[in-house]
Amino acid sequence: MMDKNNNKVSIEKTENAKKIANKNANTRGAYEGMEEGILKFFRWISGIFDRLFLSTKYSALFALCLACLAYFVATYDDSNTALTSSKVLSNISINSRYNSESFELTGVPQACEVVITGEAANVTNAAAKKGYCQIDLEGYTEGTHTVKMSAVGYGDSVTSIVSPSEVTITLKKKTTKQFDLSYDYINQNNMDSKYVLGTPQFNQGSKINIRASQDTLNSIALVKALIDVGGATGDFETEAPIVAYDKNGKAINAEIVPEKVKVTVKVSSPSNEVAIKLNPTGQPPVGLAIDEAVITDHQTTRIYGPQSVIDSISELYVNFDMSTISENASLELILPVTLPSGVNASDVSVVNVKVSLAAVEETTLYGIPLNAINNTENLGISEIDYTEVNVIVSGSEKNIDAVDPNEINVYFEMPKEVGTYDIPLYVESKNNPYVNLKLEIGSVHVTVVEANS
């Protein structure tokens, strides 16, 4: 019985062992099949890569695909993702809201800076707008206040930060004061110099009202109407703006009532016909003298300027420097006409001068009397060592022969106090500028006394 059971168990074990062996064989076969499939797949992929990279045709195609992919990545824009940007705006104007009728405002900066931030497109659009900074002082009273500034006009799509964010300002009560009105002519360089401007007449009187704080009113030194006379050729009427200035000539910001004034200006052109004469200076070349120098084209000219100036002028001079001429026997020059102070214009600006030279000669004029000039203190002379002197005259023979001794003036300046002096002598010729005059003695010994002594 025991043997049968043992045999049965052995048979069952043998059967189980076979089943396990068969199962392992099947599993091994499945794994081997799977491994073979995987190896085939990788060999297939390897073949594709070989064809792509080793073939010129396929490698170019692959490079093109990679380039397209790179471009797509670089230009890809996710509409749900926005770029944030900022921009600094400088020199932004400042607008102040306050009661300008009652108060004067000081302390406001000339400009401010605004930083705008938001999406790039919105920032660009906001920066193009004409925004400004604002100080709201509505309801503020007289005194010094620290207030905030805000940015206005850039839209709600961006945020704005103002710098400085706060400013300290002062409000001062306004009052009114009356000032005398004077004037300035402007753009006179654009007016023909032949014309003369008269004194302007203010149609509304010569008083003006200015409204400002007391400190500002106290700083005003003068008030002027700026009258534009550019291009004026006759009497005219215009409206001239009014400007207040401090003692340094700086314009003052104040409320001027009215801002402009009507003014009438007389324009005239006084003139006078005068002679043109040569005024020789310097010395001609050594051994030579001016024999003749004449103006060949213009003997007179008409001058223009204020009547009181031109009425006192009878002749104009052409300065002729004899030291600049050459040793030629004859030459022609073009010389400018010199205008005296106060004369605005002349019809003749240059003249032609013909000059001839000759050998220098010399002679002596004897017994020319002495003259005392400028005796402003009405003094007398008790002693003088000379009353006449000799004058040496040099020049061309023609000019020496033309010298009249009565036209030679030898003089000295009369002292202003009683005493004894050695006084220098001077000599001049009234009508012949082309001779050279020299005194044999240079001074005279004089005793000055009271006139009644």
Q: Is 172 left (phi over 0), alpha (psi -120 to 50) or beta?
A: beta
- List, as one string, the DSSP characters of 50-66: HHHHHSHHHHHHHHHHH
pLDDT at 9: 45
Q: What angle do CA 114, 120, 125 make, to 5 degrees?
A: 65
pLDDT at 51: 61
Residues in CB range of 94: below 8 A, 6 or more apart: 108, 109, 110, 111, 112, 132, 133, 134, 135, 149
For the chain, 453 residues long, give each residue's pLDDT as a single digit of tens. 444 444 554 555 555 545 555 555 555 555 566 667 676 766 666 666 556 555 555 555 555 565 556 555 555 454 444 578 899 999 999 999 998 888 999 999 999 999 999 999 999 998 898 899 999 998 898 999 999 999 999 988 999 999 999 999 999 999 999 999 999 999 998 988 899 999 999 988 889 999 999 999 999 999 999 999 998 889 999 999 999 999 999 999 899 988 999 999 999 999 999 999 988 888 888 888 888 888 999 999 999 999 989 999 999 989 888 888 776 667 788 899 989 999 999 999 999 999 888 999 999 999 999 999 999 889 999 999 989 999 999 999 999 999 999 989 999 999 999 999 999 999 998 778 888 899 999 999 999 998 775
What's the half-sphere exposure (Cβ side, CA atoms, 13 Å) at 220?
A: 27
Which among 444, 451, 452 has a CA at the least distance from the CA of 387? 444
pLDDT at 30: 56
Indicate whether this model's pTM tops 0.85. Answer: no
Q: Where are the alpha helices (DSSP H) in 89-148?
A: 120-127
Q: What angle do CA 185, 190, 196 make, to 5 degrees?
A: 55
360 and 400 Cβ atoms separated by less than 8 Å: no
Q: Is 231 left (phi over 0), alpha (psi -120 to 50) or beta?
A: left
pLDDT at 115: 94
Q: What angle do CA 84, 90, 91 make, to 5 degrees?
A: 155
Alpha-carbon gap, residue 349 to 214, rounded angstroms = 54
